[in-house]
Copies of this chain bind each other. A is one copy, B any other.
Amino acid sequence: MIKISDKLCNELIGELKKDNKGLHSWLETIHPIDLAETITDLNDDELLQFYKRVDTELMAEVLEQAEDDFQARFLRLLDIKDIISIFNYMATDDITDIIGNLTFAESKKILNMMKEEDSGAIRKLLGYDEESAGGLMTTEFIALKESLTTIEALTKIKRISPTTEVIRSIFVLDDSKKLVGVADLRDILVAKEETLLRDIANTNVISVTPDIDQEEVALLVAKYDLTAIPVISRKGIMLGIITVDDIIDVIEEENTEDILKLGGVSEEERIDSSLMISIRRRLPWLLINLVTAFLAAYTVGLFEDVIAQVVALAAAMPIVAGMGGNAGTQTLSITIRSIALGELELKESWKIVFKEILLGLIHGAATGVVTGVILYFVYGNPYLGLIILLAMICNLIIAGLSGFLIPLGLKIVGIDPALASAIILTTATDVFGFFIFLGLAKVFLNFLIV
């Protein structure tokens, strides 16, 4: 929980006052990713000074790793020529991410100044949805013809490797540039010199098309332990690769999204977000919650006459509603997680429905008996205990069913289950919980007033 960059930032400002030799030997001791965090805290003058003192290659590496806001701020300090010389050291996916955060006018100006081949690739990448395989991929990879021998391949690999991120997987193409296999660099290293790439390539390749959602790509990479997954067109032409470090970011991003949405924060908010951002992210959701709270209050209001006669009901009713919410949330968490991990099988659903009904029955009976007995001792009326037992069994069955069927239904109709499930679920368990408990109390009112 310590921020390393505060300390580093002071050191860096000190080093900038020294000569090049001092600065560069200090820079060698700092990881580029830490450096990226550090320079974020520099002011514009210090930043320009830093830029002028370091190699363009290091600057590119650091800029790649920096936050979006900083990237835009920094580029606005530079001439287009400087920007393009930095971009020469960056992978196309990183350039695309940076350009994607600039204004349309800014990005157009930069793209027009770039070499035709580079700007073409980037324009193409800019066209993909940011959260799709196309939006994640880079066009820097090693792809070789299947008819090459391993010694020829190795020569090419040596030439290409400095500009590519992944070297373990060499993608093997046929004459029409279709991806036909993947060769492991280890196999190329140990194979006889005249062996053809096609003969050592594994033809059983896991790949995606550019339109595939990033969540699905992440599931594939996780399942098949890949360090890079190729992206191919519908016709099988190799377009790019997605590397595992970007996949880790996707996984963390999707998990953050799920946890926040389950907690009722509709869009990404960080612990250090500004007050205004926090209000915008949370207040709309609270207002929706308020509507459902009124639904529950309305349900209680229907039975005000009953409560007026047996005030104990007012104290006991939150137990029924609350326990329903708790039990439903348990089922919901497991269901949401199964969906996220791609584990849920539709045709097995009826088994889960059956299990959740049974669980509701058992958990409702267990907690209901405890509650009923305690209420009997407190109020001396056995019927109150029986009514709450019955209500809790019913509400926990509803809770279990809702916890499974709501996210499943949302998933099927294409709504993110993490977003809306929790609120629908607690509305159901609150409204139904109050209704069944107070309704039973109304029916058996004569036994309660004795």
A235 at the interface (CB under 8 A from B): no
Min distance, Cβ A243 to any Cβ of chain B, angstroms: 8
Q: Are the CB atoms of A342 and B263 closer together than 8 Å?
A: no
**Do A333 and B265 contact each other (CB < 8 Å), given the known contacts A244-B244, A271-B343?**
yes
Q: Which residues of B contact A251 (CB under 8 A)?
A: 248, 251-252, 255
State the copy count for this chain. Answer: 2
Q: Which residues of B contact A278 (CB under 8 A)?
A: 355, 359
Q: Are the CB atoms of A31 and B224 closer together than 8 Å?
A: yes
Min distance, Cβ A230 to any Cβ of chain B, angstroms: 14
Report the stretch among A9-17, A115-123, A299-307 that lies at the interface: A299-307
Report the stretch among A51-59, A76-84, A171-179, A322-330 that lies at the interface: A322-330
**Do A374 and B330 contact each other (CB < 8 Å), given the known contacts A162-B186, A359-B282?**
no
Q: Are the CB atoms of A297 and B282 closer together than 8 Å?
A: no
**Do A367 and B282 contact each other (CB < 8 Å), given the known contacts A31-B206, A189-B158, A264-B326?**
no
A314 at the interface (CB under 8 A from B): yes
A311 at the interface (CB under 8 A from B): yes
User: A293–B319 Cα gap in the complex (Å)?
Assistant: 5
A113 at the interface (CB under 8 A from B): no
Q: Which residues of B contact A352 (CB under 8 A)?
A: 271-272
A258 at the interface (CB under 8 A from B): yes
**Do A329 and B167 contact each other (CB < 8 Å), given the known contacts A162-B186, A244-B227?**
no
Q: Which residues of B contact A341 (CB under 8 A)?
A: 252, 256
Contact of A345 among B2, B33, B307, B351 (CB under 8 A): B2
A449 at the interface (CB under 8 A from B): no
**Do A334 and B271 contact each other (CB < 8 Å), given the known contacts A161-B190, A168-B168, A326-B289?**
yes
Q: Are the CB atoms of A367 and B286 closer together than 8 Å?
A: yes
User: A333–B330 Cα gap in the complex (Å)?
Assistant: 16
Contact of A314 among B279, B314, B329, B337 (CB under 8 A): B314
Contact of A308 among B262, B263, B308 (CB under 8 A): B308
Q: Which residues of B contact A294 (CB under 8 A)?
A: 319, 371, 374
User: A3–B343 Cα gap in the complex (Å)?
Assistant: 8
Contact of A189 among B28, B161, B225, B333 (CB under 8 A): B161
User: A278–B359 Cα gap in the complex (Å)?
Assistant: 8
Contact of A300 among B30, B314, B330, B333 (CB under 8 A): B314
Q: Are the CB atoms of A296 and B322 closer together than 8 Å?
A: yes
A24 at the interface (CB under 8 A from B): no
Name which residue of chain B comes closest to A359, CB basis.
B278
User: A204–B34 Cα gap in the complex (Å)?
Assistant: 12
Q: Are the CB atoms of A293 and B318 closer together than 8 Å?
A: yes
Min distance, Cβ A267 to any Cβ of chain B, angstroms: 12
A259 at the interface (CB under 8 A from B): yes
User: A319–B298 Cα gap in the complex (Å)?
Assistant: 10
Q: Are the CB atoms of B338 and A270 closer together than 8 Å?
A: yes
Q: Are the CB atoms of A343 and B265 closer together than 8 Å?
A: no
Within A168-209, the residues touching B (CB, 8 Å) are: 168, 185-186, 189-190, 203-204, 206
Name which residue of chain B comes closest to A271, CB basis.
B338
Q: Which residues of B contact A33 (CB under 8 A)?
A: 223-225
Q: Which residues of B contact A336 (CB under 8 A)?
A: 259
Name which residue of chain B comes closest to A289, CB basis.
B326
A312 at the interface (CB under 8 A from B): yes
23 contacts between A and B (CB under 8 A): A2-B345, A29-B204, A31-B204, A31-B206, A161-B190, A168-B168, A225-B245, A247-B248, A251-B251, A251-B252, A252-B341, A260-B333, A270-B338, A271-B335, A278-B359, A279-B359, A286-B330, A287-B370, A296-B322, A307-B307, A308-B311, A318-B321, A322-B430
Per CB-CB distance, the 10 closest pairs between chain A and chain B, nearest first, are A263-B333, A225-B245, A271-B338, A314-B314, A300-B315, A161-B186, A301-B315, A255-B255, A293-B319, A304-B311
